Amino acid sequence: MCQQPCSDDDYGYNLFPDRNTAKSKKAFITQSLFTFNHKCQVMLQFAMETSPYAKLLLSAMKSSGCTVYKDRHFSCEDCDGSVSGGFDANSSQIVLCQNNIHQQAHMNRVVTHELIHAFDHCRAHVDWFNNYRHLACSEIRAANLSGDCSFSSEINRFNFGLKNHRQECVRGRALRSILAVRKISHEEAGKIVDEVFDSCFNDTAPFGRIPHTNKDAKFATRHYESRDRYHANV
């Protein structure tokens, strides 16, 4: 993930030990049908084929000239117990934490969350390593658009709220994500998130609006795929 030599603790490397190429690779037998890796691969394939969130993002990235290939741009790996996935900007690769993702719904959210980072990387040339505001903006968008803060997800976490509950959920998850991969204070991270929050929360590309459910995501997909038809017929 680093653009220059760095320590294992920089940019969240310690959360993704398999990113360290100096570590020995597992023997082929550990990639058998009975490992976390195989289950991860199967769930990833299912997410790419059936999740309306993922399908829209994959289509949007292809349209933006950044076609995503399963074998090239995804990697199922063992991670620290505190994370489910990550986006490695150096390799343009999404890391899926095979030891921490055990349910398809969870896989769908992680794939969507990380694809939003990949989409931002493609369209906006995000400076992940030197500009904390860029990082915060993408984390806000990922938390807001991936289903991380959907009503059902929050109910499953026993989190209940009234007015602006979604905004607080997005703000909190973005803040925690930044603190997990950058060595800055909670106060500084919170200030950065607040500075960019409104504009990034309201940036719903490529969905058009916040997809609260699979139905919303399917509608957004149809709308995205037909976006050029009107102009073609004028």
d(CA 81, CA 162): 31
CB of 145 within 8 A of CB of 204? yes
Supply the residues annotated as catalytic. 114
Dmax over Cα atoms in the chain, in whole Å? 59
- 184 half-sphere exposure, CB direction, 13 A CA radius: 23
